[in-house]
Amino acid sequence: MWWLDNVLFFVAFLLGLGLFSYRVWRIVQVIRLGKPSEVSFSFGRMVGKVVRYALIQEKMFQRPIPALLHYLVFAGFFIVNLEMVEVFVDALTDEHRFFARRLGEVYPYLVSFLELFAVFVIIACVIFILRRTVVGVRRFRAPEIDRHSWLDALFILVAVPILMVFILLMNGADWVLIERGVLDVAFREGRFWLSSLWAPAVLGSLSEGTLHVLSRVGWWGHNLLMFGLLAYLPHSKHLHMVFSFVNVALTPEVPRGAMRPLPEVQKVLQTYLGVEGSGGEEELPERFGAKDVPDLPWKSILDAFTCTECGRCTSECPANLTGKKLSPRKIVMNVRDRAEEILRYWAKNGRDGLPEGSLFSYISREELYACTTCQACVEACPVNINPLTIILEMRRYLALDAGQAPREWTLMFSNLENNGAPWQFPPEARVQWLRSPQQK
């Protein structure tokens, strides 16, 4: 019945992969709702950005200690899961520890390396859990971090160390079996660094049958949890493990501080002025700025699904720091909330139409107008998310389409239109200050 084990393994894998792919496909559908976006497709630059921001995580190291811990979890998770290569080969060949019989003395060094990283990952995750639960770092206790977000972060921080423990359990049981000469291997000198320290003392008295069971518990526990996490990932903020690579690769190369101009306004003016080649009125944009998710550039929707909810943007935001209602993290999370609402609506009603409400059901005018457009949030984001684009697009909708600019702005606009300056004086009064009181 060995084949049943392997069939179950591949069924679990395909189920996890299928659920992951289906959910990502649905997210891509909602991202495709967005307007054309300024992105970079230069291959060399894309690779450079992926290395700097996703692999080396350059921006994270502005805060070295959390960055180092995060890096241990990130790199450790991928390194330790190289073990999955052997897991798949084992399942295909119906062997256990396929490479132990073929890599000779190199094999125990590889396993020891993975064990070392497994321990690093466990330590880093425990510190992260303590930071969230006991220390209570301010960034993680903001109003936008609701119960769901908080539990989502905690769930992964607990699940990842459990994954590591399953691997260490399998290695420990196997090491005792190797020492007893039950498990056939091709190395004589090497040892599994960590397992050889603890397993003989803890598991040494167990029978061969029990050790085999423990080894299988570790193997199955690790694999089922991995495939479960694969299915869960796109429903959580941890989708950034995948999307951040795409997001940083596509970051547009614009000068620092540059804002997107308004080609829509240019088009309207050219149309009304009858500029040649400007097209007819039927080609005019339906609306200015963004009222809802489909009005945003698609890169902003991708940004929303990439957000790690780390709060670095909010902790640098001068508006937030001076007690205003604005939090750039909340703005990005709200775009995702509205996109999720659209996905739920589509699941019930098909892909036609949008649910009632808009982005303004989540984001208030007060938040939008508190922004100074300083771009500190854009600079701070480790995965190159741009909360300011969302804020500006929504403000443009309020000012240009809904006629809901603040009173001071409306006054300034009308002064610009009538006087050619933001002030309430006619152009001929502009140089009056040069004249002496007698001349006036």
Residues linked to residue 136 through DSSP beta bridges, in sequence order:
none
Looking at the Cβ atoms of 287 and 325, the one nearer to ligand SF4 is 325
Looking at the Cβ atoms of 101 and 235, the one nearer to ligand SF4 is 235
For the bound state, the minimum distance from the C-beta of residue 74 to ligand SF4, rounded and expressed in Å, comes to 14
Looking at the Cβ atoms of 199 and 394, the one nearer to ligand SF4 is 394
Looking at the Cβ atoms of 215 and 315, the one nearer to ligand SF4 is 315
How far apart are the C-alpha atoms of 426 and 440, rounded to whole Å?
15
How far apart are the C-alpha atoms of 122 and 76, rounded to whole Å?
9
How far apart are the C-alpha atoms of 180 and 111, rounded to whole Å?
19
The answer to whether 202 and 115 have CB atoms below 8 angstroms apart is no
For the bound state, the minimum distance from the C-beta of residue 365 to ligand SF4, rounded and expressed in Å, comes to 14
362: Cβ–Cβ under 8 A, 6 or more apart, which residues? 334, 337, 338
* Interacting residues with ligand SF4 (CB under 6 A): 307-313, 316-319, 326, 328-329, 332, 371-377, 380-381, 383, 385, 387-388, 391
For the bound state, the minimum distance from the C-beta of residue 331 to ligand SF4, rounded and expressed in Å, comes to 7
Measured from the Cβ of residue 335, the count of other Cβ atoms closer than 10 Å reads: 26
Residues linked to residue 35 through DSSP beta bridges, in sequence order:
297
> Residue 197 burial by CB count (10 A; 0-12/13-18/19+): exposed, middle or buried?
middle
For the bound state, the minimum distance from the C-beta of residue 101 to ligand SF4, rounded and expressed in Å, comes to 45
CA distances from 208 to 62, 127, 199, 203, 426 (A): 51, 36, 14, 10, 96
How far apart are the C-alpha atoms of 193 and 243, rounded to whole Å?
35
For the bound state, the minimum distance from the C-beta of residue 227 to ligand SF4, rounded and expressed in Å, comes to 27
For the bound state, the minimum distance from the C-beta of residue 423 to ligand SF4, rounded and expressed in Å, comes to 26
How far apart are the C-alpha atoms of 179 and 192, rounded to whole Å?
11
Looking at the Cβ atoms of 230 and 313, the one nearer to ligand SF4 is 313
DSSP string, 240-292: HHHHHHHHHHT-----TT-----HHHHHHHHHHTT-TTS--GGGS-S-SS-SS
Q: Which is it for the CA torsion 248, 254, 259, 261, positive or negative?
A: negative
For the bound state, the minimum distance from the C-beta of residue 343 to ligand SF4, rounded and expressed in Å, comes to 20
- From first CA to last CA, the distance across the chain in angstroms is 105
For the bound state, the minimum distance from the C-beta of residue 55 to ligand SF4, rounded and expressed in Å, comes to 17
For the bound state, the minimum distance from the C-beta of residue 371 to ligand SF4, rounded and expressed in Å, comes to 3
For the bound state, the minimum distance from the C-beta of residue 53 to ligand SF4, rounded and expressed in Å, comes to 11
DSSP 3-state of 297: strand
Looking at the Cβ atoms of 16 and 66, the one nearer to ligand SF4 is 66
Measured from the Cβ of residue 18, the count of other Cβ atoms closer than 10 Å reads: 12
Looking at the Cβ atoms of 373 and 414, the one nearer to ligand SF4 is 373
The answer to whether 231 and 19 have CB atoms below 8 angstroms apart is yes
Relative orientation angle of helices 147-179 and 208-232, to the nearest 10 degrees? 150
